[in-house]
Chains A and B, each alone.
Chain A
């Protein structure tokens, strides 16, 4: 995001909430919350400067458990609500956060459209490849053959590929982290926060209740850091990024997969913000008499 507010000195204490978490022990959401909090602290963004908009689902409860501005909304619609908030008050550092069902099932069209608009927000997708809060159904990112209550003989669909979709839709920042590596993930989120334009951050996560196979050991074996495997990887090159996103070897590349700093953001091009960057909510609602008379005259 283009961060226009003054950076603050913040610590973990500032984000500490009295609210008791309802996540299962061992849930990947704890790691994601910690990564997000670290990213905000490192970026110098205070609880009152950020707006965490979530949908509905386990991961979407995150704003309830952190002391920061938030808005827990509707399943699948968090991103579009976040964009409305951003356009009305671009001063707020706006983050849309939700699970894989939320963001890539119901919410996929909003995600795609706001990527192509290059809306200046961060979207975090908490991806555990299963529906948790509704108790274990397969999700848009579940692997083929994944057995759940709604796919008892195994899911027969291909999983959504968020990275490839992000590239195709025009996201200007695409990163992937993992709940088991909060520090690594915090760094990606921080870079997403500092990125001008739409930043998609997928965070792989464990679900100890409904996706038992994909536990910490499994992710350790199945994932790798792009720059560790290929120090020459150029994240500015969309073709390399596509190759990585489409590589079908069953392993998850992690890190910053794509970054494009050359596209204008949506809000930069909005007529109401061309002359003044003052958020519309801070402008006077007064209408000058002459201007009002002109509006009326158009109908005479």
Chain B
């Protein structure tokens, strides 16, 4: 594999200034122009003000995470001096700093530009936006145009995206934004067309133009929909909201019942009510909302109702870091609610795995008649990556063991909702047929669903439910390696850290100076714990390093409790910011050095 050539762009602004939408638009332009793209929005928990930024990397190969250094910085908020200086410090030497030319820059900013060796690129954003578009907010489009111009990417790609984005509003608005984009483009091309000194990756339009730019939450929602989800009830909570909004925005087309409820308890309860009568139902939230759902999770477990819960984790505990990423709900998700019952926990790590998790969750919930939790996080929910549209296929819909009305008609014995079976799954008949009348209780119940405290029945019922835990294990995907076979060091990970770790593994192994090679072992499904696959994989691990975005090494603890495996090193991060490939490489080198010292002691 040839070295990945990547160019990175940061668009920074106060919240509400359009850094997020600008970043998404620019990502689309780059993808259509023939580059593989990766983008993440980094934002604060406020509506206007503050400082947020959108980071884009583009390359001739697929990108899985952003790195720390940038080649271009577009700044909408130079009045935020401290933040702007910090952003400038992330520029490479020779990087371009685009800012409005009417702003008198604070001395700290000019000093920072000089120190980094960046090039100041003043552009008349507000002037052109106002003169040509009649609105200073169109200055954003001037800025984006200037970037595309300075990179000498043909204007058509930008124009197409601008026209498309604004077509929804009106033809006039689309036309004036297009004119503004052109003015910015021309300005960037003629003034800074020769300023960009970095080697551009090769553009291959035929390879990327048809790819899909979809974020993690959209992929979960889309996957759920194709997996048969037709009922979604939720209460807004960042970063889980956008899963719900995917359905609400177009629900008349989708035929999905959506309900914005009064709280998260009602959100999961309505989903369970819908699930109980036969809908493929789900809810989405973040950790705090999931806390409120916990009692109802047990209800679904006890009465064996299929339901899917998306918990998009953020920094906790309590309100924590509402717009920052964390992986601290793992053991909570596996153990949430009192008592014991089977549940399935999926931990997708890529956009593609988010799509798969969406439909798999609904299939597994139906097959095992039990709650399924998709544990994602802010990082994955906010990231976009160009993905092959052929990957997205309509899945097989598994309904599990159902008793049809015709089968009920022919049934001679009374219908038993909780009939004891080999695999613990009882055939499910829906309400609404004269022979399917049943009234399950959250109390311990017998095969009919009636309340009983009988000890023998209790044992059999517990065993029946927990048998589903064993049965579901056969469907759980084991961990997957990426990187060098026979690696000297393995980064053991789960969920969203896949991207940064994968980049780190690629960069490390490409470097010929590194004689020993590394790989990663990633879990996209964790519960029921895939023990056999884990044992097989761990046989190949020489030095196991567990890396996770939490304080207490929750996955390392899971490996210890379930597989009796003690990792050699634990790497943790809990500042709410994603791991970067650079950080991981520093840690990997440190671990290598330390293990060398330890082995020679």
Partner-B contacts on A (CB < 8 A): 19, 46-49, 51-53, 56, 61, 63-64, 66-74, 77, 80-89, 91-92, 109-110, 113, 270-276, 280-281, 283, 285, 287, 292, 295-296, 299-300
Q: Are B272 and A69 in contact (CB under 8 A)?
A: no
Q: Which residues of B contact A (CB under 8 A)?
A: 209-214, 218, 222, 225-226, 228, 230-231, 233, 251-252, 254-259, 261-263, 265-266, 269-281, 295-296, 299, 303, 389, 392, 394, 397, 430-443, 450-451
Q: Which residue of A lies closest to B430 (CB)?
A: A281
- Inter-chain contacts of B263 with A (CB < 8 A): 109
Closest chain A residue to B219, Cβ basis: A299
Report A145 CB to chain B, min CB distance, Å: 32
Check if A56 sits within 8 Å of B442, measured CB to CB.
yes
Q: Whose C-beta in chain A lies nearest to the C-beta of B436?
A: A48
- On chain B, the residues within 8 Å of A82 by CB distance are 273
Asked whether, in the complex, the Cβ of B226 is within 8 Å of the Cβ of A77, the reply is no
Contact of A88 among B265, B277, B299, B437 (CB under 8 A): B277
Q: A19-B450, A72-B441, A84-B233 are contacts. A283–B255 as well, Cβ < 8 Å?
A: yes
- Starting from the known contacts A72-B439, A83-B270, 9 additional A-B residue pairs (CB-CB under 8 Å) come to A63-B439, A68-B437, A69-B438, A72-B442, A77-B266, A77-B296, A82-B273, A272-B252, A285-B230
Which B residue sits closest to A299, measured CB to CB?
A: B212
A29 to chain B, nearest CB (A): 15
Contact B262 A69, beta carbon cutoff 8 Å: no
Q: A280-B255, A296-B392 are in contact. Are A83 and B273 (CB under 8 A)?
A: yes
Contacts A88-B257, A280-B255, A295-B222 given; does A48 touch B231 at CB 8 Å: no
A71 & B440 in contact (Cβ 8 Å cutoff):
yes
Complex Cα spacing A101 to B266, Å: 18
Complex partner residue of A292 from B226, B262, B278, B438, CB under 8 angstroms: B226
* Chain B residues, Cβ within 8 Å of A56: 442
Residue in chain B with minimal CB distance to A70: B439
Among B251, B276, B295, B436, the residue within 8 A (CB) of A71 is B276
Name the B residues within 8 Å of A92 (CB-CB).
277, 431-432
The reply to whether B255 and A48 form a contact with Cβ atoms under 8 Å apart is: no
A300's partner among B210, B255, B262, B438 (CB-CB below 8 A) is B210
Which B residues lie within 8 Å of A66 (CB)?
439
Q: Are B276 and A85 in contact (CB under 8 A)?
A: yes
Q: Are A77 and B439 in contact, with the CB atoms below 8 A?
A: no
Q: For residue A49, which residue of chain B has the nearest CB?
A: B432
Could you list some 20 contacts between A and B, CB below 8 A?
A67-B437, A70-B438, A70-B439, A73-B272, A73-B303, A77-B299, A80-B261, A83-B270, A84-B259, A84-B270, A84-B273, A84-B275, A85-B276, A109-B262, A109-B266, A272-B251, A276-B255, A295-B222, A296-B389, A299-B218
Asked if A271 meets B251 with Cβ closer than 8 Å, knowing A19-B450, A56-B442, the reply is yes
Interface centre among B218, B433, B437 (most CB of A within 10 A): B437
Interface-central residue, A86, A281, A292, by most chain B CB under 10 Å: A281
A68-B439, A74-B295 as given contacts; A87 in contact with B259, CB under 8 Å = yes
A295→B255 CA distance, assembly (Å): 14
A274–B253 CA distance with the chains assembled, in angstroms: 11
CB closest chain-A residue, reference B230? A280
**Smallest CB-CB separation from B384: which chain A residue?**
A299
Bound CA span A49–B259, Å? 24
B494 → chain A closest CB, angstroms: 26
List, in ascending order, chain A residues with CB within 8 A of B303's CB. Answer: 71, 73
Question: Which chain B positions have C-beta within 8 A of A61?
Answer: 451
B265 contacts A48, CB within 8 Å?
no
**Most-contacted residue by chain B among A67, A72, A283 (CB, 10 A):** A72
Chain B residues within an 8 Å CB radius of A64? 439, 441, 450-451
Which of B210, B255, B437, B442 contacts A69 (CB under 8 A)? B437
Q: What's the Cα separation between A63 and B212 when bound, in Å?
A: 50
| Most interface-central of B210, B258, B259 (chain A CB within 10 A) | B259
For the complex formed, measure the closest distance between the CB of A61 and the CB atoms of chain B, giving whole angstroms: 7
Inter-chain CA distance A74–B301, complex, in Å, is 13
**What CA separation (Å) do A182 and B243 show in the bound complex?**
48
Q: How far is the CA of A173 from the CA of B281 in the complex (A)?
A: 30
Provide the bound-state CA to CA distance between A296 and B387, in Å.
11
